[in-house]
Amino acid sequence: MGVFSYLCNGCGSNIRSNGFEGEQCVLQHIRHGELIGQVEGAYDGWGSVVGDKVFRRYLPAGEDHPNGQRQIGLSELGLPDSGKRSGIAAWHKVCFAKVPAAQQSEYRISRMDPKQGYFGGGPRPEFM
Ligand SMILES: [Zn+2]
């Protein structure tokens, strides 16, 4: 699987990683409009944050987790409301902090970054 990323729900710019460093972000896993899980940290380029052991990780055969790869993949692509009320709501951490709590919990599904978070420039200091 190649690198990919999202456009931030706050500023509309992409969330970037260069494979070594990533911009600070908040990722919310949304299923049918409800928050299933949320992580914060440096974007890893593959839909999670550096150091997280569960969020979007491939789990051993036979194991499942509401925020593992299988369930997040299902939310993003495999449900009738994928891309609308199921998927990932992504933010830069600073953008998330700037908006009121009501907006943080709107759970608007983010658009995919056409530059995959990697191409077209590395992480920016203002988001580190
Ligand atoms: Zn932003």
| Measured distance CA(35)–CA(105) in Å, rounded | 8
Q: What is the pLDDT of residue 126?
A: 98
The per-residue pLDDT for 2 is: 85
Distance 43 CA to ligand 1 centre (A): 13
- pLDDT higher than 90, residue 104: yes
pLDDT at position 1 over 70:
no
- Over residues 38-67, mean pLDDT: 96
70 Cβ neighbours under 8 A, 6+ residues apart: 59, 64
CA dihedral 28, 32, 36, 41 (to 10 degrees): -10
Q: How far is the CA of 10 from the centre of ligand 1 (A)?
A: 5
What are the pLDDT digits (tens) for 75-93? 999 999 999 999 999 999 9
- The tokens for 108 are 């608007």
With 0-12 / 13-18 / 19 or more C-beta atoms within 10 angstroms meaning exposed / middle / buried, residue 40 is: middle
Q: How far is the CA of 98 from the centre of ligand 1 (A)?
A: 10
**What distance in Å separates the CA atoms of residue 111 and residue 17, rounded to the nearest whole number?**
17
As a whole number, mean pLDDT of residues 97-110 equals: 98
Nearest to 71 by CA among 90, 54, 50: 54
Q: What is the pLDDT of residue 78?
A: 98
